[in-house]
C-alpha cells in the first residue's frame, strides 16, 4: 500500500502536465483539471493519514513476527512490551 501511494505521489506532476498538454492548448491549465488533481492529492493524503492512524501499533507494543507453533503458522501480531 505504501509503495503504491509513493508511486502515485511521484507521478502526480507528470500526469498533471500530460493532462494539461492533451486537454488544452491554453496558456494555463483548465480550472476543473486543477481542482480534480488537488482533490485527488488531498484524498490520497487523507487516506495515508487514516491508514497510518488505524494500522499502526499501539504505543509500548512490539511486533511479533509470524512463527511456527506445533506445525501451524501463527500470524504476526502486536504484543505488549
What are the residue ranges spanned by the domains of the chain? 2-80
Average pLDDT taken over every residue of the chain: 86
Q: What is the pLDDT of residue 67?
A: 93
pLDDT higher than 70, residue 1? no
Instruction: For residues 62 and 71, give the distance between their C-alpha atoms in angstroms, rounded to a whole number.
Output: 24
State pLDDT tens for residues 17-44. 888 788 776 677 778 988 998 999 999 9
User: What pTM was computed for the model?
Assistant: 0.47
Among candidate residues 8, 62, 39, the one with its CA nearest the CA of residue 31: 39
Cell (9 digits) for 48: 495515508
Res 65: pLDDT: 94
Q: What is the pLDDT of residue 71?
A: 93
Amino acid at each position: 500500500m505504501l509503495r503504491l501511494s509513493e508511486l502515485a505521489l511521484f507521478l502526480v506532476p507528470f500526469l498533471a502536465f500530460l493532462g494539461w498538454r492533451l486537454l488544452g492548448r491554453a496558456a494555463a491549465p483548465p480550472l476543473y483539471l486543477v481542482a480534480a488533481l488537488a482533490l485527488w492529492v488531498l484524498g490520497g493524503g487523507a487516506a495515508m493519514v487514516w491508514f497510518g492512524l488505524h494500522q499502526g501499533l499501539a504505543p509500548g507494543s512490539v511486533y511479533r513476527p509470524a512463527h511456527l507453533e506445533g506445525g501451524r503458522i501463527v500470524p504476526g501480531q502486536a504484543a505488549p512490551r
